[in-house]
Each structure stands twice: as structure tokens, then as C-alpha cells.
Chains A and B, each alone.
Chain A
């Protein structure tokens, strides 16, 4: 320790040196701007062009024309001058995420679309990603990484020559933490831009706060460990909630009517929800998914569908009381006129498992009535025969 303290000033100096060599500021991207062929930015674009080409033909891309047009329209509403430079790919992945590449392609994961309650929330996410593009964050991040790692290589060499290699190691840690801090600052900047864009377009900014509150709830339910902040790429959700709340409060009364635009969002996404919910349950993170389902139900999503998926969740989790809860949920789903046909089948399978054979047969018959062209028709008929034979 004493030895380390002696070198502390050196470490601090090195750290400051590493931070200062980070990067010079870059200007905002201009509409239609492409990088000079000889620049580092052109290299990044070329690399990402290749990745985009692969992504474009991936089977995980949601290709529905209406849904894609809907999302593009939001981009145009938020930032019309950059709309022609941005390409959005809706990727079927059941996690909450979106990302922006330096060459202008944005990935929007269906897990994020599932979690949004209204257009305002989606607009905030898209606005945040537009912020990354506008500020050319990838380029800046790359330069910070490149310059820091290169300087570190020489620092390590120099400290090794001086016989104090551990000073180089400590400096490395400080520098890596510095790169992460830089990334968090970029996220804060993108948050601010996302907020400004959504307000300008007439969306209610309090919806942005709700997203982070929702994510916090999910994290708590999943009992995920909190990330060690020194090496986190994003600021903590608590911080983002506070910042956005403050910004939103400052706005109260200063602007006109603000809206969440719930109806158009539901119209654009409702048909995809069953698929996205099935994907969600495949993650097998049931405690977190439960929060997602409850929230959707509270925010007015189709109760027949939501109750069915809640039943599915309990059936799949199969912990204490889950089977009982599952029966209750399916019953609630079936009580609705527009219940999905598969709810009858799930209920039938569950009743069979619980030994309620008559109920099981009745449910299977209801299923076949509701879905006479079901692909598993023969299978279900065989189940019915088997159950009726046993009952005789």
C-alpha cells in the first residue's frame, strides 16, 4: 500500500493524461452527409454497411409493410431532415433494446415494441437513437477507444521499463472506467435529444419516464443484480427517471397539448402482440415477463389475450400455486368472447394433467369448434378418444 501511495501522483497524472487525449469534438451530422473516403468514419461506415447487408436479409427482420411504414412515419415526425438518411430494421428479439449504427441503420427490437404502451414511448426510444446518429456518437466512441488503448500501450511499455508495471495496470483500469464514463455521457446526451424531439413533435414526455420506471420494475422482479456503475455503458435507470422527470416538470404549462398517442400505436402493433408475447415467454424469465403482462393488461391491452398469456406463463413456470393460477387465468380468458382458440386447448391440457378428464374433453371439443382447421386437429381428436375411452 505504501508503495502504491508513493506512485499515486503518477497514476493520477497518467489518468488525466489519458482522459485529455480522448478526442476532439465532432460536429453534428448534416442531412445527406457521407464521410470522406480516407477518413476513419468511412471505415466505420464500410464495416457497418456489411453488417447491415447481412441483417437486411435475416429471417429475424419483421418485414410487414404497414408496421415498417408506421415506424418510419414516427422518424419523419421527429426529425424530418434526417429521415431519408435513416433506415430502421425491426428485429424479432424479445429484449428491450434499440441501437444505432454510424452509417444510419437503426435496429429496433420487438421486445421494445412489446413493452411500449403508446406511440410517445416508442417516439422517445427512436428519438434517443436519432440523437446518437445526429451526434455521431459511434465515431466519437471509436476515437476514444482507439486513442486511449494506443496511449495505454505506450504507458504500459514505459512503466514496465521503469520497473513499476503495476502503475500501468492501475492506469489501464482508470482509463477503461473513463471510456465507460464517456459512453454514459453519450447516453445522457441522447436521452436529452430524445426528450427534446418528442416534445417538439407533440408527444407527452412523461411517457419517457414511464418506460424507465417499467424497466426498473422488471429488473426488480427478475432480481437481477445491479450493474457495477464504473463499468456500465448506460446511466442507472433511477438517474434517467429523475432527469427526465425534472425536464418534464420544467415544461409543464409552457407547451401546448401533449399526448401519448395510444390509439394509433395499438392499431399498428396489436396483430403482432401474440407473436411477441410468445417470444417473450420463450426467454423463460417468467418473473420479469409477469411484470410486462401485468403492465400491458393495466394499460388496456386486450384482456382475453393477456389472460391467456398469463395462464401460459403460470403453466410454463410451474412453481408453487402456478397451476391453480394458470387455470384461473385461462378461465378468465375463456370468459371473453374473443378468446384465442388456443386458450381452450391449453386449458384442456391442464385439466387433463389435474385429472379432470371430463373438463379436459369439453375444453378440447371447444378448441376444435373454435379452430376447425387447426393444424393439430388429429392430435386433439386422438386425445379426446383416449380420454373418453378411459372414462368408459
Chain B
């Protein structure tokens, strides 16, 4: 009997390291080589189940997942996405698990897992200069492959948007510790907003646009700052 969160701690450190690295790079988004959206057409974008978790950073440095914050963040993000996408002549649609057969649900879950892996790979190999791949450093041609067609068939959408965000907020204790340590000249990490988003062409599986967020501010718990985060996240979206 072990807590999964504790097992995942090393992964948190990896992400944290990535956060430190990527904070130094100026451009946050990438668009696929030679990508041009169809003109004069209302695009339909399928929003994949949001992979979002908000947590409270305790004084001891653990992240306590917060269900209420996460639920609120999901609502705010969906409404902000809806507004932003309408403004660029696109409609969004959410996944509806009730119309999916068990097999389709399985495939969609596998696609989400695949996106998590591909997205993580992009973060490492595209955003950290030291890890640039020789064959990919001058181009952006990542793909999820033709398997995305099940989504196209099921929802009749042009694109799918995958969003992954981990957002943490310092607890009262953590804030006190930060102040105390600062008096000693020691920096203690506070809450952070990090994640990535990608737009996938459902005809080909190609990732046509990818953006990441990695910063020490922002707030998804209430509507106004959440809209700001979404605007930040959608920077460079080619639609």
C-alpha cells in the first residue's frame, strides 16, 4: 500500500527542472512548418478532457491536490476558451463520454496518454536548447499519427485541443516560510503555473500548434485571472 503521489515525486522534480530551464527561452509557442488553416471556414475544435490539477503547496513542499479549485478552474477555462475561439471564427465542442462506446473511450484515453508523452518530449527537446534533436531542431513536425481518426469519426471535428496544466498555490504556511527564509537570504519556491497545450489536425494527427506555460504567477481559481491564463496559453494559435 503506497501513495501514488509520493511515488510521483521524482517526476515533479523533473518538471520543475524543465520549468527552470524553459523560463529562460523567449518564444513559447511553435507552429507546424507550412501550416495554413482553411480560409473562410468555421473550424470545429474538439476540446479533449482537460488534464488539469490545482494544488496547494504546503510549507513542507508537498502539493496537496484541491478538487474544488480544479473544478472551478475547468469551468473558467472552458468558458474562456469558448469566447476566445468564437472570436477567431471557430467553435468548440467538449468530449461527451456518454456517446463513446467502451472501445472508443479506451482509444481516446490512449490518445490522451500519447499526447502527454509527445507533449513532454516536445517540452524537453524543443524548449531546452541543450536537448535539441539534430533532425528536429530547425523544424516543428511532431504528430500523434493517424490514430486520431477515431475522434474525427466520432465528433466530426477539424481539430482537437489537448490541455495539460498543473497549477499550485502557496499555502499560508508556505508563504510564511518564504518570508522567513528570505530574511536569511534563502529563496524558497512558491506556487507555479505550468503546462502545455496543443492543437491537433484530426485529418492527419499532426500537432499544428503547441504552446507551453511556465511561470510563478497566474490564478485559475477565479474567472478573470483564469481568462488571462487562457489568453496567455492561446498565444500564437494559428486559427
**Contact digits for A125-144, partner B, Cβ 8 Å, 1 yes 0 no:** 00001001000011001100
Q: Of A42, A190, A233, which contacts B67 at CB under 8 A?
A: A42
Is B228 engaged at the interface, CB distance under 8 Å to the other chain?
Answer: no
- Chain B proximity of A64: nearest CB distance (Å): 16
Chain A residues in 8 Å Cβ range of B55? 43
Complex Cα distance, B109 from A54, in Å, reads: 7
Q: Of A44, A46, A51, A100, which contacts B70 at CB under 8 A?
A: A46
Chain A residues in 8 Å Cβ range of B71? 37
- Interface centre among B1, B3, B67, B177, by most chain A C-beta atoms within 10 angstroms, is B1
Q: Of A35, A56, A129, A150, which contacts B1 at CB under 8 A?
A: A129
The answer to whether B113 touches A54 (Cβ under 8 A) is yes
Chain B residues in 8 Å Cβ range of A50? 51, 53
Is B37 engaged at the interface, CB distance under 8 Å to the other chain?
Answer: no
Closest to B176 in A: A154
Question: Given contacts A43-B64, A54-B109, A57-B106, is CB(A99)–CB(B59) below 8 Å?
Answer: no
Question: Given contacts A44-B65, A46-B65, A47-B65, is CB(A149)–CB(B4) below 8 Å?
Answer: no
Complex Cα distance, B67 from A154, in Å, reads: 27
Size class of the A contact interface (CB-based, 8 Å)? 35 or more
Size class of the B contact interface (CB-based, 8 Å)? 20 to 34
**Contact digits for A59-91, partner B, Cβ 8 Å, 1 yes 0 no:** 000000000000000000000000000000000
The answer to whether A38 touches B109 (Cβ under 8 A) is no
Complex Cα distance, B180 from A146, in Å, reads: 19
- Chain B proximity of A227: nearest CB distance (Å): 14
Is B68 engaged at the interface, CB distance under 8 Å to the other chain?
Answer: yes
Is B58 engaged at the interface, CB distance under 8 Å to the other chain?
Answer: yes
- Chain A proximity of B63: nearest CB distance (Å): 9
- Chain A proximity of B127: nearest CB distance (Å): 25
The answer to whether B181 touches A47 (Cβ under 8 A) is no
Question: Given contacts A47-B4, A99-B1, A101-B4, is CB(A150)–CB(B60) below 8 Å?
Answer: yes
Question: Given contacts A54-B113, A157-B177, A161-B184, is CB(A43)–CB(B60) below 8 Å?
Answer: no
Is A187 engaged at the interface, CB distance under 8 Å to the other chain?
Answer: yes
The answer to whether A42 touches B177 (Cβ under 8 A) is no
Complex Cα distance, B49 from A178, in Å, reads: 40
**Contact digits for A101-141, partner B, Cβ 8 Å, 1 yes 0 no:** 10000000000000000000000000001001000011001
**Contact digits for B128-143, partner A, Cβ 8 Å, 1 yes 0 no:** 0000000000000000
The answer to whether B62 touches A145 (Cβ under 8 A) is yes
Chain A residues in 8 Å Cβ range of B105? 57
Complex Cα distance, B109 from A138, in Å, reads: 26
Interface set, chain B 99-115, CB cutoff 8 A to A: 105-106, 109-110, 113
Chain A residues in 8 Å Cβ range of B6? 145
The answer to whether A150 touches B58 (Cβ under 8 A) is yes
Complex Cα distance, B7 from A233, in Å, reads: 13
The prevalent SS among residues of A at the interface is: helix
- Counted as pairs of residues, one from A and one from B, with CB atoms less than 8 Å apart, the total is 93
Is B146 engaged at the interface, CB distance under 8 Å to the other chain?
Answer: no
Is A152 engaged at the interface, CB distance under 8 Å to the other chain?
Answer: yes
Is B11 engaged at the interface, CB distance under 8 Å to the other chain?
Answer: no
Question: Given contacts A42-B68, A57-B105, is CB(A153)–CB(B3) below 8 Å?
Answer: no
- Chain B proximity of A194: nearest CB distance (Å): 12
Question: Given contacts A53-B109, A138-B3, is CB(A146)–CB(B67) below 8 Å?
Answer: no
Complex Cα distance, B64 from A317, in Å, reads: 46
The answer to whether B2 touches A233 (Cβ under 8 A) is yes
Is B225 engaged at the interface, CB distance under 8 Å to the other chain?
Answer: no
Chain B residues in 8 Å Cβ range of A35? 67
The answer to whether B60 touches A47 (Cβ under 8 A) is no
Is A186 engaged at the interface, CB distance under 8 Å to the other chain?
Answer: yes
Complex Cα distance, B3 from A187, in Å, reads: 13
The answer to whether B2 touches A99 (Cβ under 8 A) is yes
The answer to whether B61 touches A157 (Cβ under 8 A) is no
Is A201 engaged at the interface, CB distance under 8 Å to the other chain?
Answer: no
Residues of A within 8 A of B (CB): 35, 37-40, 42-48, 50-51, 53-54, 56-57, 99-101, 129, 132, 137-138, 141-142, 145-146, 148-154, 157, 160-161, 186-187, 190, 233
Name 29 A/B residue pairs within 8 A (Cβ), A-sorted.
Answer: A40-B64, A42-B67, A43-B66, A44-B65, A46-B53, A47-B5, A50-B51, A54-B113, A57-B109, A57-B110, A99-B2, A100-B1, A101-B4, A132-B1, A138-B1, A142-B64, A146-B62, A146-B64, A148-B60, A149-B58, A149-B59, A150-B58, A153-B61, A153-B177, A154-B177, A187-B1, A190-B1, A233-B1, A233-B2
Apart from the given pairs A142-B5, A146-B58, A161-B184, 9 other A-B contacts in the complex at a CB distance below 8 Å: A37-B68, A39-B67, A43-B67, A132-B1, A142-B64, A151-B59, A153-B177, A154-B180, A157-B181
